[in-house]
Amino acid sequence: MKNPVEVNMAQREEQRLASMGVGGLVGFRTLLYKEVLRFWKVSFQTVAAPVLTAVLYLLIFGHVLEDRVRVYDQISYTAFLVPGLVMMSVLQNAFANSSSSLIQSKITGNLVFILLPPLSHWEMFGAYVVASIVRGLCVGLGVLVVTAWFANLHFAHPLWILLFGLAGAGILGTLGLIAGIWAEKFDQLAAFQNFLIMPATFLSGVFYSIHSLPPFWQAVSHANPFFYMIDGFRFGFFGVSDVPPLHSLAVVTVAFVVLAALALRLLSKGYKLRH
């Protein structure tokens, strides 16, 4: 027969662990709600403006190159361009959400209100990345709805579209989290975006097929993870791609695991967060 004192202590320990679990779930939901509300309250800037930018890209490039460029047989250049613009918008806005949130919290000094509650690094990581995915997919869906009027799109493999959309937004949300942790001022974050995110995005095959490039630049494109996100996403629409979708999925998965491990490590150590 167990000692009543030991039983009482065990029950208290179970209650403590259960309360920690509930509290952690509440904390995660609260931080996620805060991050989603942060961009949604200014959706004219965070959602509508990127949609307008993508439409302008489509109108300009589609009008100029429609009769001059043919990437795949039976697929117009405008139709080829739409998935690339959708995915580009997803990636850029997922990155912007987590990175801008952290740098703003650092500069305004309200980061302490996120660090004081008993949130684990897993919960912080999940809330920031999921909110980035939500924003990226909202913008991507808006771009798709508006640009679909300009092209005859196909949905050959919808699950591939959803899978690469989620994976791409998750990777850029994680990368934005890393950038926000590392940067101490807006200039550093702008440099990260202008010299890494933007070149990698525009050199990923959004506006062209890499088979139209010289061999050297084809090799460079194959070293760019952004290329595999966009190529796999485009495969979901047309059923054709520059590389096999499983190959793209493998590269994207490895990229996410590496970046997630790095972000979790930085959060657990409080790197540039707890001074």
Give the DSSP letter string of 231-275: HHHHHHHHS--SS-HHHHHHHHHHHHHHHHHHHHHHHHHTTTT--
- Tokens representing residue 258 in the block: 């590496």
Q: Specify the pLDDT at position 269.
A: 92
What residues have CB less than 8 Å from 212, skipping those under 6 apart? 71
Name residues of the chain where pLDDT drops below 70: 1-24, 67-71, 275
Q: Residue 16 domain-assigned?
A: no
Q: Specify the pLDDT at position 78.
A: 85
Q: Residue 187 domain-assigned?
A: yes
Domain that holds residue 201: 25-269
Q: Residue 1 domain-assigned?
A: no
Q: Specify the pLDDT at position 70.
A: 67
Q: Summarize pLDDT for 213-252 with one digit per residue, the tens.
A: 888 888 888 899 999 999 999 999 999 888 999 999 999 9
Q: How far is CA 30 from CA 91, 145, 273, in A?
A: 24, 30, 20
Q: Residue 13 domain-assigned?
A: no
Q: Residue 5 domain-assigned?
A: no
Q: Residue 9 domain-assigned?
A: no
The pTM score is 0.88
Q: Residue 55 domain-assigned?
A: yes
Q: Summarize pLDDT for 109-119 with one digit per residue, the tens.
A: 888 888 888 88
Q: Specify the pLDDT at position 3.
A: 54
Q: Residue 8 domain-assigned?
A: no
Please state the domain count of the chain: 1
